[in-house]
């Protein structure tokens, strides 16, 4: 959503679309964390954020490659290329999401190291049936 540059759409419309996309994302992340028992929520959330940022970066690369072709620009309406031209805002948001994911993973490693030094670890293992639990 950060790459959209269309003042005619209005900020409320963009926020409404963003919130409609965020609800399923938060819901599935919460379900996944609940199934895991919230044991390593920082690491899991960090991985999800980094993966989402990488996939978005791949889509941006695809978009840039696609619009660099004159034939493709001729096939699209001119307002489409203009509408998705907020590269500065989108790139900043993408870097923020990736940075947050990276920081969550780093803080998770620090927490695991602290727990290991204090002897409070409970290793998480997967059984034959695929359920997770502490030993």
* 68 is a domain residue: yes
pLDDT per position as a tens digit, 4-51:
666 566 667 667 777 777 888 888 888 888 888 888 888 889 999 999
* 128 is a domain residue: no
- Provide the domain count of the chain: 1
pLDDT per position as a tens digit, 64-94:
888 888 888 788 887 776 766 677 878 888 8
* 78 is a domain residue: yes
* 44 is a domain residue: yes
**Most confident range, picked from 7-16, 49-58, 113-122:** 49-58
* Domain limits for position 107: 11-120
* 1 is a domain residue: no
* 3 is a domain residue: no
* 133 is a domain residue: no
Write the DSSP assignment of the chain as a string of letters: -TT---TTT-HHHHHHHHHHHHHHHHHHHHHHHHHHTTTTHHHHHHHHHHHHHHHHHHHHHHHHHHHTSHHHHHHS-HHHHHHT--HHHHHHHHHHHHHHHHHHHHHHHHHHHHHHHHT----EEE-TTS-EEE-
* 130 is a domain residue: no
Q: Measured between alpha carbons, how far is 121 from 113 in angstroms, rounded to an integer?
A: 9
């Amino acid at each position: 959503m950060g790459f959209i540059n269309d003042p005619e759409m209005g900020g409320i419309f963009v926020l409404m679309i963003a919130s409609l996309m965020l609800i399923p994302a938060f819901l599935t992340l919460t379900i996944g964390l609940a199934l895991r028992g919230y044991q390593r929520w920082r690491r899991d959330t960090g991985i999800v954020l980094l993966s989402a940022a990488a996939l978005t970066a791949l889509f941006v690369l695809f978009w840039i490659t696609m619009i660099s072709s004159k034939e493709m620009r001729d096939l699209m309406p001119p307002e489409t290329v203009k509408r998705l031209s907020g590269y500065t805002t989108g790139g900043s948001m993408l870097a923020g999401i990736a940075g947050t994911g990276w920081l969550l993973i780093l803080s998770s490693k620090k927490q695991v190291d602290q727990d290991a030094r204090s002897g409070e670890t409970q290793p998480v293992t997967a059984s034959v049936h695929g359920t997770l639990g502490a030993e």
